[in-house]
Amino acid sequence: MADKANDPVAMWQNMIGEMEKGFNSFANQAMASPEFSKAVNQVGGVTAGAQKQLGDLMEKYLVGMNLPSRAQMVSMAERLQSIEGQLNEIKAMLNAMNSNAAASAGGYAGAPKPPRTKRPPSAAGEPK
Amino acid sequence: MNASAGLNVAGLDLALIPDRIQSEVQRAIQRSIKGVEYIASSGPSLGSTPKDILAARGTMNLYHYRPVADEIYRVPILIVMATTNRGYILDMVPGQSFIEFLLKRGYDVYMLDWSAPKPEEKSLRMEDYVLDFIPDCVRRVQLDSGETDVTVIGYCFGGVLSLLYGSIFNDGPMKNLICFTTPIDFREMKLFSNFSDRRYFDVDRLVDSIGNVPPEMILSSFEMLRPASRAASQVQLWENIWNDEYVKAYRMMDRWGTDTLPLAGEYFRAITKDLMWDNKLFNGTMSVGGRAADISRIKIPILHAVAEHDHIVPYDAARHLITKVGSTDKEEVILKGGHVSVVAGANAIKRLWPKLDSWLCERSI
């Protein structure tokens, strides 16, 4: 196999790695200045405000077009999550209700909780 | 002597060039095939260790992982996740899951994971997290396990919340505290500190105008710490796309890394003012809901694991934790790796997890 120092592929990978480090380091120095903070916060503040206004406008537009807005989609996703959560709760309740009956059939709910008697390997004389 | 290895130009054995070209051509073909597969398929299923949800309220979700050992340690573990990210970083896939590791080693594991605050939950405050959600989860863990003592493990900002909880409820029931990459000196998070410079960053205007802080803003502030890394990682992905293991690991980390949660507006305001601006946790002047939260009041055994190459929480931001807490049984371990790889990467399997087990097993009986 070719020496790694002379392998073109390894050299390319090394170059990418070095470029990444160099650019990150340069950018970090630039971003540590108060001027950067001032500029980014001015832009960020304006952008956040504009995004909010645009979002409000878009919401009105989508309602007008009889289409679901982002907020409604997020709300639907949250409702789905909530339904999943409730399903989990129902599952847990069913498991609890069937715990005795399920004991013979196996399954988690039927399985007894393991005893809290475990000792550290050193105390129990086991190798770690 | 090997005749084919005779001609050597600038250290490059010319006889090996045809093999190298063949191998690169094969990889190029594989890249094209796997590249299409990559786009067409979804990533691996994450966070699939069997668990039951014990409670879900507001942004709080409390899970109990089903024990797998025949015998478990007396003291249960409650993991408190960072509020910006999802808990499945600690439960990636079988063989690379911290949760699975703990279960196999005989621990009883619970996790406090967070969901995105709804627009109407923008008023959730630090008090809700420290004085309500965490104590509520601890109570539920006590009830479910039948044990009074609880070990708390906090990852990143989950560690900060656990420290605040532990300093306020310093007379129990937390028995042990383990923090992963937890900052306490926020001045030393130099770039974040500069981004939120009080002279230029109007947190009140931001929170008052947009409510919850959107995940895109949080993600971009993380990515700005290493602005070239995303592009470089895409190049590396393309080079290694023939390698299924690399692609699997990339997809897991990429999905988690971009699955950032929004932060409740009032909670973000408190973080900015109390921690980023006034550095109150470090100065010992922090309070939550009018209750003093001085970490020197924490007296329980504590382990702090920090990463040598952490670009999010640099060592200088984390190193004072151990000196500031009031515990006598305390230890800091500095491990190779970055902010995420130290807890969830291949190195974590070899380094952090066994270290944590050897420290915790003695304190879990």
The answer, for A14 touching chain B at a CB cutoff of 8 Å, is no
Query: Which chain B residues are closer than 8 Å to A81 by Cβ?
Result: 115
Distance from CA of A83 to the nearest CA of B (A): 12
The answer, for A68 touching chain B at a CB cutoff of 8 Å, is no
Q: Return the ∠ at Cα A100 (arms to B104 and B149), rounded to 5°.
A: 45
The answer, for B74 touching chain A at a CB cutoff of 8 Å, is yes
| Contact assessment for residue B156 and residue B79, using Cβ atoms and an 8 Å cutoff | no
- Cα–Cα distance list, A97 to A92, B54, B64, B87 (Å): 9, 16, 18, 29
Of A2, A45, A71, the CB nearest to B12: A2
Q: What is the pLDDT of residue A127?
A: 52
Compute CA B255 distance to the chain's CA centroid, rounded to the nearest angstrom. Answer: 14
Tell me whether the omega of the peptide bond preceding residue A34 falls within 30 degrees of 0, making it cis: no
The answer, for B14 touching chain A at a CB cutoff of 8 Å, is no
Q: Which tens digit of pLDDT belongs to each residue from A55-99?
A: 777 777 888 878 887 777 877 876 776 677 677 667 766 776 776
* Closest by CA position to B87, among listed B121, B56, B111: B111
Query: Which chain B residues are closer than 8 Å to A92 by Cβ?
Result: 52-53
Of B197, B235, B239, the CB nearest to A34: B197
| Contact assessment for residue B265 and residue B211, using Cβ atoms and an 8 Å cutoff | yes
How many residues make up chain A in this entry?
128
Strand partners, B213: B263
Q: Binning pLDDT at 50, 70 and 90, where does residue A10 land?
A: confident
* Closest by CA position to A43, among listed B295, B51, B206: B206
- Could you identify the residue written with the tokens 């911290």? B98
Cβ of B209 within 8 Å of Cβ of A37? The answer is no
Supply the Cα-derived Rg of chain B in whole angstroms.
Answer: 23
The answer, for A112 touching chain B at a CB cutoff of 8 Å, is no
Has the ipTM of the complex gone over 0.90?
no
Distance from CA of A15 to the nearest CA of B (A): 11
- Cα–Cα distance list, B64 to A89, B61, B90, B142, B177 (Å): 13, 10, 14, 12, 19
Q: Binning pLDDT at 50, 70 and 90, where does residue B278 land?
A: very high
**Phi, psi for residue B66 in degrees, rounded to 5:** -70, 125
Cβ of A27 within 8 Å of Cβ of B66? The answer is no
* Secondary structure class of B112 (helix, strand, coil): strand
Q: What is the pLDDT of residue A126?
A: 58
Q: Which of B59, B60, B194, B223 would you mutate first to test chain A, the one with the most A CBs within 10 A?
A: B194
Higher pLDDT, B28 or B265: B265
Q: Which residue of B has its CA nearest to A25?
A: B226
Sign of CA dihedral B41, B47, B48, B52: negative
Return the amino acid letter for A84: E
Higher pLDDT, A45 or A30: A30
| Contact assessment for residue B337 and residue B331, using Cβ atoms and an 8 Å cutoff | no
Cβ of B361 within 8 Å of Cβ of A7? The answer is no
Cβ of A2 within 8 Å of Cβ of B20? The answer is yes
Return the amino acid letter for B211: G
Cβ of A122 within 8 Å of Cβ of B69? The answer is no
The answer, for B37 touching chain A at a CB cutoff of 8 Å, is no
* Secondary structure class of B224 (helix, strand, coil): coil
Higher pLDDT, B87 or B31: B87
Cβ of B201 within 8 Å of Cβ of A41? The answer is yes
Instruction: For the beta carbon of residue A24, count every other beta carbon within 10 angstroms.
Output: 17
Q: Which tens digit of pLDDT belongs to each residue from B222-238?
A: 777 777 777 778 887 88
- The pairing of strands B150-155 and B51-57 is unpaired
Return the amino acid letter for A6: N
Q: Which tens digit of pLDDT belongs to each residue from B167-210?
A: 999 998 999 999 999 999 999 887 777 788 888 888 898 888 88
**Phi, psi for residue A106 in degrees, rounded to 5:** 85, -165
Most confident of A40-49, B140-149, B247-256, B337-346: B140-149
| Contact assessment for residue B151 and residue B75, using Cβ atoms and an 8 Å cutoff | yes
Q: Binning pLDDT at 50, 70 and 90, where does residue B110 land?
A: very high
Q: Binning pLDDT at 50, 70 and 90, where does residue B143 land?
A: very high
Consecutive H or E run containing B13:
strand B12-13
Taking the CA of residue B324 as centre, how many other CA atoms within 13 Å lie in the half-sphere pointing to its CB? 22
pLDDT for B103 beyond 90: yes
Query: Distance (Å, rounded) from C-alpha B140 to C-alpha B132?
Result: 12
Angle, helix B244-258 to helix B229-239, in steps of 10 degrees: 150
Query: Which chain B residues are closer than 8 Å to A119 by Cβ?
Result: 365
| Contact assessment for residue B106 and residue B73, using Cβ atoms and an 8 Å cutoff | yes
| Contact assessment for residue B87 and residue B79, using Cβ atoms and an 8 Å cutoff | yes
User: What b/e string do you get for A61-88 counting C-beta neighbours within 10 Å, with b at 16 or more?
Assistant: eeeeeeeebeeeeeeeeeeeeeeeeeeb
pLDDT for B284 beyond 80: yes
Query: Which chain B residues are closer than 8 Å to A51 by Cβ?
Result: 210
- The pairing of strands B302-307 and B330-335 is parallel
Supply the Cα-derived Rg of chain A in whole angstroms.
Answer: 30
| Contact assessment for residue B75 and residue B106, using Cβ atoms and an 8 Å cutoff | no
- The pairing of strands B302-307 and B150-155 is unpaired
- The pairing of strands B150-155 and B174-180 is parallel
* Closest by CA position to B335, among listed B354, B353, B309, B308: B308
E-assigned strand segments in B103-253: 109-114, 150-155, 174-180
Query: Which chain A residues are closer than 8 Å to B116 by Cβ?
Result: 78
| Contact assessment for residue B318 and residue B184, using Cβ atoms and an 8 Å cutoff | yes
Cβ of A118 within 8 Å of Cβ of B69? The answer is yes
Distance from CA of B296 to the nearest CA of A (A): 29
The answer, for A45 touching chain B at a CB cutoff of 8 Å, is yes
Of B20, B52, B209, the CB nearest to A48: B209
Give the pair of three-digit tokens for residue B15: 């006889």
Distance from CA of A65 to the nearest CA of B (A): 23
**Quick one: what percent of chain B has pLDDT higher than 90?**
54
Q: Which tens digit of pLDDT belongs to each residue from B39-81?
A: 666 666 777 888 888 988 889 999 999 999 999 999 999 999 9
Q: Binning pLDDT at 50, 70 and 90, where does residue B38 land?
A: low
Strand partners, B287: B292
E-assigned strand segments in B142-282: 150-155, 174-180
The answer, for A71 touching chain B at a CB cutoff of 8 Å, is yes
Higher pLDDT, B162 or B211: B162
The answer, for A104 touching chain B at a CB cutoff of 8 Å, is no
How many residues make up chain B in this entry?
365
| Contact assessment for residue B159 and residue B280, using Cβ atoms and an 8 Å cutoff | no
Q: Which of A79, A116, A126 would you mutate first to test chain B, the one with the most B CBs within 10 A?
A: A116
The answer, for B119 touching chain A at a CB cutoff of 8 Å, is yes
Q: Which residue of A has its CA nearest to B189?
A: A32
Cβ of B235 within 8 Å of Cβ of A1? The answer is no
